[in-house]
Amino acid sequence: MQPLSKTPDAMSAPDHPVSLFAKIVIVAFVYALAGIATLSLSFTEGYAAPFWPGAGLGLAALLIWGRLCWPGILVGSFLVDLWMDTSISVLPMASINATASTLQALVAASLVHTLLKRPESLAKDPDLLKFLLFAGPLSCVIASSVGVFSRYWFGSLPAEELWAEWLIWWAGDTLGVLLFTPVILLLWQDRRTKALQVGAHRIVFPLLITATLLLLGNYALARMEQNRAQLELDRVFEEISDLQFETLPRVIQPLIQLERFFSASIWVWPSEFARYTQFMISAPAMIAVDWAPRVPAEQLAAFERTQLQPLEQTHHVFELGSPLQSLVLAQRSEYFPVLYTEPH
């Protein structure tokens, strides 16, 4: 098995420009595809995912093909943000998040070359797990901190959710590094043998099983949370519906009585209307009470003469414009002039 110390970063011969460009395109495509798939399967409502394989894929790419492939991570992360929000306003935040993800992968790759100095095989090197436990959680602080702060700065994350969002982001990136980076490195180093070398399966298979269980568990928890939220929403709507049906008759019945009051009266003075409706407008569901009789167009003149003149306030029906200006009455087949209103 090829030792980790012979990663492309340590080789003296640089990649051909065409080969390097192809690697960058592959890294960008795989990173974006992994990010979109993770967000689609995680069913999370937040921006951060509790499980982010892209962090591990990006680090493995820099260790295998060299740190010159960092533009692939930058482009891939930027595309994931654009997939989540295609508006132009997201471009500054997407650029910051992509830069933070790229810097995080570069720092983690530097830690690899600093911590893993011995030339033993990757599967048998006990320092591998020490590196993953140290470099993963440490380097993953970068993207989570910068990403959460940028979301808060641009107003897409409230202050009370900063800590929870940061923890989910950091844990997702850390799990991505711990689970996917060693698997990819081992599979890549053993690609010429057509089978994993002795000892490699002890790391690869448990990590693959863990990643699968985490993905399935996250899916199950997300569905349970969605079902719980839906049940709570149904309960609230049911309570509102019951409250409306209970309140509606109590509101309509006084209005029916008011209509009977006018029908049984030859004349109703404003003071009488105010006293009669005083108990009605005190109800929480009642904002105001208007009396607007139906007046056919041919009876409008008689209505103004018999109903408005005794009030000694106005002698004609008019329309109210904005701001509170009297307008000429438009021609209609019937009118509903507001004769009384409480509170006025």
pLDDT above 50 (res 5):
no
How many Å apart are CA 292 and CA 282, to the nearest integer? 20
Smallest CA-to-CA distance from 115 within 87, 134, 89 is with 134
How many Å apart are CA 59 and CA 142, to the nearest integer? 14
How many Å apart are CA 51 and CA 33, to the nearest integer? 14
Q: E strands of the chain, at which residues? A: 289-291, 295-296, 319-320, 326-327, 334-335, 340-342
- Give Cα separations from 334 to 21, 195, 293, 330 (angstroms): 77, 89, 10, 11
Smallest CA-to-CA distance from 116 within 104, 107, 106, 126 is with 126
Encode pLDDT of 150-204 as tens digits.
Answer: 988 988 888 888 888 888 888 888 888 888 887 887 777 655 454 445 455 556 6
Smallest CA-to-CA distance from 335 within 316, 322, 312 is with 316
Split at pLDDT 50, 70, 90, the class of 329 is confident
Smallest CA-to-CA distance from 191 within 296, 72, 73, 60 is with 60
Whether residue 172 contacts residue 48, with contact meaning beta carbons closer than 8 Å, is answered with yes
Encode pLDDT of 55-86 as tens digits.
Answer: 999 999 998 898 999 999 999 999 998 998 88
pTM: predicted TM-score of the whole model, two decimal places = 0.58
Split at pLDDT 50, 70, 90, the class of 121 is very low
How many Å apart are CA 44 and CA 155, to the nearest integer? 20
**What number is the average pLDDT over the span 202-222?**
63
